[in-house]
Chains A and B, each alone.
Chain A
Amino acid sequence: MKNKIMRTVCVLLVAMLVVASLALSGCTKAKETLYILNWGDYIDPQLIKDFETEYGVKVQYDTMANNEEMLIKLESSTSIYDLCFPSDYIIEKLVQKDMLHELNKENIPNIANIDEQFLDLSFDPGNKYSVPYMWGTVGILYNTTMVDEPVDSWSILWDEKYSGQIYMYDSMRDTIGITLKYLGYSMNTRSEQEVAEARDALIQQKPLIKAYLGDTVKDAMIGGEGALAVVYSGDAVWCVDEEEGNPDLAYAVPNEGSNLWFDNAIIPKSSKNPELAEKFINFLNRPEVAKQNSEYIGYSTPNKAALALMDEYWTQNEIYNPPQEVIDRCEIFRDLGDFTSVFSDAWDAIIY
């Protein structure tokens, strides 16, 4: 009896395997597939479906948690990705390593929709390899019921009045970067002395802060669990929203300046289908597509044709669409090269 059951189970298992492998190989052969690697929650999923229907292709969409994870995935010899969205300073690194496909602009005519001030930037002169996808600033999100004074300087994060109510960002470049700005230095400094000063300032600040958080800082601030937090502008857009967030919250980019960041579409050299990837980049830069995508994510679009289609909620929102003077006082990250180890030693000393 028992034997019979075992045999039936075995037969069933084999049958399932055969059916599954047939079904899988069936799919992959039928359609071209575009492999995308992106940050979590960083595209309107409807747009992927639209692209699939319009071009008769399949999109395999994977997510990553940070730039370094993406680098590891792209460097692997079995990398399958055709399209990826790393940050500015990572592109510099990828170019140095000769890992990027040079874009064929004829396939991306919609690049003309992008605001000129976001093209030809330091990390990719002439946009040979990348097209900006989203951009934003780093600033302070604060709860107006707990903070009365105007927030215009990073120094408020060192104010003992707010002891136990401050969240810092669990990210080496961002946290050390804003501290360098607070001290009046460049975020891209190559001076060990300046990094050491920033390190000491952050160690001195540690007793005042509530926690070093990643994405969870949004929920904590919306829940009224803190007075001040360092966040990306794109996240701040949702946090201050009346329906989705907490209307008591406000966002400010301090006068000392901050980080201006870009996430950009790139095609790895290992891509087997760069042309389809270029089509996707072009698709993303259609004004109505870029609008829909940006409104879904809440991060600012560099696409000026899309911005022109958007209503006041977005265009009048200074977090989403900051005034020119805010952009002017911000700095873009550069790849630090070997100097990264000085930053990471400082970060170890702060956290551990």
Chain B
Amino acid sequence: MKRTFFSTPYIVWMIIFIVVPMLFIFYSAFIQDGHFTTEFVNQALETPLYISVLIRSIVVALIATALCLLIGYPVAYILSNMKKSTAAILSMFFILPMWMNFLLRTYAWQVILADNGVLNMLLTTLGFAKGSFMYTQGAVLLVTVYNFLPFMILPIYTILSKIDRSHIEAAHDLGANSANTFFKVVLPLSVPGVVSGITMVFIPAITTFAISRLIGGKKYPLYGDLIEDKIVASGNLGLGSVLSIILLVLVIISIVVMHKMEAEQGNEEGGTLW
């Protein structure tokens, strides 16, 4: 009884800000002048250009996720092996930038990467030649990874620090070396953290549009840019809505797949961020 009472504001909030807007999206995607239409769906699926943008977005998001995992896992591992107090202070440094808005952090990178920016100033003082970093594919990836890295580190760190030390000691006692212990014991036990990390990086990475515009100068546009362009610049609500739904379906599929993977691993340790 009490539980339902306290969840009422949340349910009302969800209906107003999640369900109703979704209905609007579905309405403008399938209804034109009061009639049901599949025109926008056909257009979205039959234009090769839109498909290739989608594929490019998936590839970029996958690369960004892989980079986050490659950087994030070792960091989380090192953190989890530190003294609790040191680890707490260090993980603060990863959380601290998240107190600032994501767009502001992206704008800050503009200042760093600009031709006459901080990075080039540093390079010239050190005697290196100036480089051109802004508006490149590399810059887009760098800022994407920077923005989403904490979402990879934190869930993995949480899981790793919860692993019972006696498992590792037992592995050592039974003669496993460090590498064996890591691959046979630590890594499998940390899978739930890796799965939530991947989900939490992949989804924002595939739906982002601000980074490719602000850092990529729209030379490497993603699916999010296409949706924004269709709705805001061309005023084509129908097509924009269909494109949004396609992206939504893709996100749902990836969440389901990730959950399946997690379930197959059998996570007795439990406690992911989802």
Contact = CB atoms under 8 A, between A and B. Distances in A.
A349 B49 contact: yes
Interface stretch (A23-31, A62-70, A107-115, A284-292): A62-70
Interface string A155-183: 00000000010010011100000000000
B66 interface: no
Contacts of B225: 351
A201 to B, nearest CB: 17
Contacts of A224: 115-116
A352 B221 contact: yes
B8 interface: no
Contacts, number: 62
A340 B234 CA distance: 9
B132 A164 contact: yes
Interface of B: 47, 49-50, 52-53, 114-116, 132, 134-135, 213-214, 216-219, 221, 225-226, 229, 232-237
Contact of A172 (B114, B132, B214, B233): B233
A218 B234 CA distance: 24
A213 interface: yes
A334 interface: no
A352 B234 contact: no
Contact of B232 (A65, A211, A212): A65
Contact of B53 (A211, A223, A344, A352): A352
B217 A225 contact: no
A167 B232 CA distance: 21
Given A66-B232, A72-B235, A172-B233, A223 B114 contact: yes
Contacts of B216: 211
Contact of B235 (A68, A167, A351): A68
Nearest to A170: B218
B232 A225 contact: no
A351 B229 contact: yes
Contacts of A167: 217
Given A220-B114, A223-B116, A344-B236, 20 more contacts: A65-B232, A68-B235, A71-B235, A164-B132, A167-B217, A170-B213, A172-B233, A209-B219, A210-B135, A210-B217, A211-B135, A211-B216, A212-B218, A212-B219, A216-B214, A351-B225, A352-B49, A352-B50, A352-B52, A352-B53
Interface of A: 65-66, 68-69, 71-72, 164, 167, 170-172, 206, 209-213, 216, 220, 223-225, 340, 344, 348-349, 351-352
Given A172-B233, A352-B53, A352-B226, A211 B114 contact: no
A68 B232 contact: yes
A225 B52 CA distance: 31
Contacts of B232: 65-66, 68-69
A64 B166 CA distance: 61
The 3 closest A-B pairs by CB, nearest first: A211-B217, A68-B235, A212-B218
A211 B218 contact: yes
B89 to A, nearest CB: 32
B234 A68 contact: yes
Nearest to A70: B235
A121 B237 CA distance: 31
B49 A225 contact: no
Nearest to B239: A344
Contacts of B135: 210-211
A274 B10 CA distance: 41
Contacts of B219: 206, 209, 211-212
Nearest to A65: B232
A66 B233 contact: yes
A195 to B, nearest CB: 15
A69 B232 CA distance: 6
A225 B218 contact: no
B70 to A, nearest CB: 29
A223 B111 CA distance: 11
Residue among B47, B114, B213, B217 with the highest chain A CB neighbour number at 10 A: B217
